[in-house]
């Protein structure tokens, strides 16, 4: 009589591999926006009426000072950065002038900003690279911009849009929150949200979309509590965090909603 072979035990990792299909080509993860194409057009149409020419709130005088300002704004408010850079940019509006200040000199101007020592170090290194590799000119491509010290994808996108008029979508904390809270283009990372937003934002509204979403998040759909009673898209919004239901505007937008909101 033949001895029966012992049953092989399946390890947890093997079970996991069976379920997940490890080894097989993974399909790209799909997301689903809570809004139809028509609804997205209407959302951004209303944003465009509320703020026809949205502007970034970081003060700058040229592409170089914009790069510096955006890099300094990481984990800081635009108002705080503006307060620190007004005096700085008056005397250092070129890479050469900024480099002449040195790390300690820059620090004296930006010490009210969070992580100022590391940021001052990056600003000086950024200036050296601009001078040595780019002829003191701010590059226009994302690939070149992200090589600069202290410049990530978000900063590069902001500079491309504001300095050179190239349609991009920079995902900061406000944009990330709005995309997820409104179920517009949910994602777990800024890059994922950027990719998903680019799929759903109507082409005709892409250039200003970044600023519309930021300003909407900063002044209306605030982090702690969204102010739905003041929201121009409240009747369309499908966020589970809505604080109240609001009927659609009768004619375009109420006059009190057009113009900048005051925090």
Residues involved in catalysis: 154, 172
The candidate with the shortest Cα–Cα distance to 57, out of 151, 158, 128, is: 158
Measured at the alpha carbon of residue 228, what is the angle toward residues 227 and 233, in degrees to the nearest 5? 125
Residues in the chain, total: 263
Helix (H, G, I), strand (E, B) or coil at 95: helix
Q: Is 130 within 8 Å of 151 (Cβ atoms)?
A: no
CA 33, CA 38: separation in Å to the nearest integer?
A: 12
Token look-up 């010490």 returns 111
Q: What one-character-per-residue DSSP string does 176-213 give?
A: HHHHHHTTSS--SSHHHHHHHHHHHS-GGGHHHHHHHH
Q: What span, in angstroms and rounded, lies between the C-alpha atoms of 200 and 178?
A: 14
Q: Considering only CA atoms, which of 125, 122, 156, 150 is closest in space to residue 138? A: 156
- Distance between CA atoms of 47 and 60, rounded to whole angstroms? 25
């Amino acid at each position: 009589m033949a001895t029966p072979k012992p049953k092989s035990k399946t390890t947890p990792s093997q079970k996991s591999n069976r379920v997940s299909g490890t080894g097989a080509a993974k399909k790209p993860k799909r997301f689903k926006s809570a809004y139809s194409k028509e609804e997205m057009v209407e959302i951004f149409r209303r944003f465009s009426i509320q703020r026809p020419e949205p502007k970034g709130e970081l003060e700058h005088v040229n592409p170089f000072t914009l790069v510096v300002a955006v890099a300094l704004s990481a984990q800081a408010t635009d108002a705080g950065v503006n307060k620190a850079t007004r005096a700085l940019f008056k005397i250092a509006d070129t890479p050469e002038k900024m480099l002449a200040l040195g790390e300690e000199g820059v620090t004296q101007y930006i010490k009210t900003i969070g992580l100022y020592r590391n940021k001052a170090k990056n600003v000086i290194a950024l200036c050296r690279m601009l001078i040595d590799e780019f002829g003191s000119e701010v590059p226009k491509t994302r690939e070149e911009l992200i090589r600069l010290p202290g410049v990530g994808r978000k900063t590069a996108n902001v500079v491309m849009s504001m300095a050179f008029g190239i349609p991009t979508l920079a995902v900061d904390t406000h944009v990330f929150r709005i995309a997820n809270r409104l179920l517009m283009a949910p994602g777990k990372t800024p890059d994922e949200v950027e990719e998903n937003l680019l799929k759903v934002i109507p082409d005709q509204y892409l250039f200003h979309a970044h600023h519309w979403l930021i300003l909407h998040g900063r002044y209306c759909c605030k982090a702690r509590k969204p102010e739905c009673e003041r929201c121009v898209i409240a009747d369309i919004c499908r966020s589970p965090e809505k604080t109240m239901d609001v009927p659609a505007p009768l004619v375009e937008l109420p006059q009190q909603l057009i113009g900048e909101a005051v925090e």
